Chains A and B, each alone.
Chain A
């Protein structure tokens, strides 16, 4: 973790004496500080309201009729309540195909990413690994430097990954941040455990599977969530490497809705959306609500894992 260098250097024993002497006096808030606390709370409440507002707004729009939306009258609560737009979107065949694609891509990509990340991190965590610093360096280097969009594009094309799930999975199979988090977790595991396992006749993979992994459930859960949310939300790989609408994930479906609406408004040409062309605001809202729904439902439960994952990463950072 980051070390703190205190600016105020005080002799600790003298300090302790002074604190002991003065402890009985309860520090009361000054008038100014009381005012500050009220202002602080009010500002935070307003900030939270602003932060959550876009979510409330799309939910309200998704249940509103188009007339009220176009009149600019929908903010916090639905006007002209109806679920027709939901029916329209759900009746779109392509929407469901793309939604199912998102689920499949997320599950497959997360599984592959987990196997690769866990095994790579476990190997890197072993100090005795020959060429260890080289293998770490290879991974970390990619965080700060890469060939760029075009070389990647050429490579994926040459590998024949276009219009297949591999275009999404392979380039994102190892996130270096996640790798470093897992590596530091494995490094902190007591070595005696693995020595005992080796004495009992377990090989490398046996130790990993039967000793190390069962003890790493928390970090594995965090990593699965990190990857799953990333893959669920990703759109650009699919947008770049796929040209068959039946293969798109739902994020690209939504992107095409937005692009279609945007080009309808602007004078310039661009990519027209497939399926529901010339989409209306309510259709966009419904699609957005349905796309974020799984994440919103899981969010209260997964939030703490994410925070702990970030903290683990910061330890090594």
Chain B
């Protein structure tokens, strides 16, 4: 048998399509979704009303507790032809768009819903890191004439840098496994051209078409990439900034 199935997927054009989709979807998620909790944490940190802060946290954590099926249901409704997004589009003079049936829109829908789900919960570790920053640093910088923006840039951000890097490494490791269950719930044959990722492709090849060996080869390849990504991200961060997972 040997590497028969590995050769098979290397020469499979479909595989490279879904590989490309995976990298794009994972990359977009990392670029757009990863920084959001940092911004939200900094904004929450500037609030003086404790009650408002706690309320904002309670609301923003909520999506984290929802089943992915519920999230998918909400996405279908909000982006449906009669849904809120299309009502806004029509109010602004546009034509209703069938978001869930168009490959061009899948990535936008996916990334925005991902932001909605993770932004609040992601702030927890940053908010914790923010409380560990020594207040004397702020006082000293104020005496030296630093304004709030300079304080944020030179004290706050370096203060939460280790947390940022740790989470970045972990997110990089999960890069190839982009929300398998969510894509599986949201996509349909019309959106396959952009939505189909490695994990959903191997699900269809393996489970739906019962081509076990071929799907396993793809799955192993995917796992190896994930492992390589997290090991190299960790190594790079240890060399350059001295933060490491283990």
Contact = CB atoms under 8 A, between A and B. Distances in A.
B27 interface: no
Contacts of A144: 173, 226-227, 230
Contacts of B178: none
Contacts of A235: 67-69, 181
B223 A148 contact: yes
The listed residue with most B CB atoms (<10 A of its CB), out of A44, A69, A229, A291, is: A44
Contact of A2 (B63, B116, B166, B206): B166
Nearest to B212: A150
Interface string B46-82: 1110001001101111110111111011101110111
Contacts of A54: 74, 77-78, 116
Contacts of B206: 149-150, 153
B214 to A, nearest CB: 9
A33 B80 CA distance: 41
B73 A314 contact: no
Nearest to A268: B189
B28 interface: no
A22 interface: yes
Interface in A273-317: 281, 284-285, 287-288, 291-292, 295, 299-300, 303, 306-307, 310-311, 314, 317
B220 interface: yes
Contact of A148 (B87, B124, B166, B202): B202
A147 B220 CA distance: 7
Nearest to A255: B69
A84 to B, nearest CB: 19
A149 B202 contact: yes
A59 B113 CA distance: 19
Nearest to A292: B70
B192 to A, nearest CB: 9
A2 B84 contact: no
A90 B168 CA distance: 45
Contact of A310 (B80, B125, B148, B185): B125
Size range of the chain A interface in the assembly: 35 or more
A233 B189 CA distance: 26
B83 A72 contact: yes
A146 B101 CA distance: 33
A51 interface: yes
B121 to A, nearest CB: 8
B190 A2 contact: no
Interface of A: 1-8, 10, 15-16, 18-19, 22, 27, 30, 32-33, 36-37, 40-41, 43-44, 47-48, 50-55, 57-58, 61, 69-72, 75, 144-151, 153-154, 229, 232-236, 240, 251-252, 254-255, 258, 261-263, 265-268, 270, 281, 284-285, 287-288, 291-292, 295, 299-300, 303, 306-307, 310-311, 314, 317
B124 to A, nearest CB: 5
A11 B1 CA distance: 68
B25 to A, nearest CB: 18
Contact of A51 (B70, B120, B133, B227): B120
Contact of B216 (A150, A270, A285, A317): A150
B140 A57 contact: no
Interface in B123-138: 124-125, 128-129, 132-134, 136-137
6 smallest CB-CB distances across A and B, nearest first, come from A148-B219, A233-B67, A72-B82, A268-B189, A54-B74, A150-B206
Interface in B178-218: 181, 184-185, 188-190, 199, 202-203, 206-207, 212, 215-216
